[in-house]
Amino acid sequence: MVRIQINRSGLALILFIVLFSLSCNPTRKAIKAPLKEEGAEYLFHKLKEHELNFDFLSAKFSAEYENSGITLSFSGQLRIRRDSVIWISLTPMLGIEAVRIMISQDSVKMINRLDDTFFVGDYDYVNRFLNTNIDYDILQAFLIGNDLQSYENSKFRTSVDKGEYKLSTSERQKLKKFVRNSNENLKVYIQNIWLDAQTFKITFADVKEIRRENIKLEASYLHFDDIQGQLFPKNMEFFIRAGNNIRVKTDFGKIIINVPLQFPFKIPASYKQIK
């Protein structure tokens, strides 16, 4: 069996790949009828009304990762307990699990079965190697096609763009009750959200921090499936635009919501910790 070595940078990239799996085609379909401009309060009400609402979510997925001419394909399983845990199992070959990841509000953990190692740390590790500035709320929101939950909504402008509603802000900050440390309190984001004019689902979103405008996260969503009366973006695409642009395409299947889940994560005693 070929053993694949995953260094610290590779570990961060693997984590990034599966956390931001986004839509297959970034082109947004415009509707024919002209739209009436609406206020931000109305559009946010409609956005929240049509967001995916769940306690537990599980799905199988296949993904393709592209960076600097390199393309990797893999499959896996995703489990989420809303606002609590994101659990991912990666199976890049022969259906055998290679990597297991568990993310909570303040920690990131990974087991690498290919080289018998594990990692336990926080978001500083991921952000340092990916050159980003993300937190659990951003990860979860981008992954399921919802808006951010712990950030304020009061400073958005509205417009109509290419047959869709657009919400824009240059001053989005985390609500004080969700701030865990002084660094989070200093973050101010520039964000744009495009909404389908009929379903009010997010079709495209981007976000960048004011202090780091050369780095932008983009998410595109298409091909929504009806999951127990709610729409979920089955196909997604994610871009991180920085020094090296990274692109990830993901197809979801067998999506199940609101069935209680387990999140097993036991580190074998023989595994070596990655510092």
Q: Is the dihedral of CA 215, 22, 146, 179 positive or negative?
A: negative
The tens digit of pLDDT for each residue in 26-52 reads 444 444 457 888 999 999 999 999 999
Are 253 and 27 contacting, i.e. CB atoms less than 8 angstroms apart? no
The tens digit of pLDDT for each residue in 100-125 reads 999 999 899 999 999 999 999 988 77
Are 78 and 87 contacting, i.e. CB atoms less than 8 angstroms apart? yes
How far is Cα 162 from Cα 31, in angstroms, rounded to an integer?
Answer: 8
The tens digit of pLDDT for each residue in 85-100 reads 999 999 986 788 999 9
The pLDDT, as a whole number, for residue 131 is 65
Give the domain ranges of the chain: 8-264
How far is Cα 51 from Cα 116, in angstroms, rounded to an integer?
Answer: 39
Indicate the CATH number for domain 8-264. 2.50.20.10
The tens digit of pLDDT for each residue in 1-32 reads 444 455 555 555 555 555 544 333 444 444 44
The pLDDT, as a whole number, for residue 252 is 94
The tens digit of pLDDT for each residue in 61-80 reads 999 989 888 998 989 999 99
Q: Is the dihedral of CA 40, 140, 216, 174 positive or negative?
A: positive
Q: Which residue has the tokens 């303040």?
A: 106
**126-131 LR contacts (CB < 8 Å, sep 24+):** 126/12, 126/15, 126/16, 128/12, 129/8, 129/9, 129/11, 129/12, 129/13, 130/12, 130/13, 130/16, 130/240, 131/215, 131/242, 131/243
Neighbour-count burial for 10-27, b at 16+ CB within 10 Å, e otherwise:
ebbbbbbbbbbbbbbebe
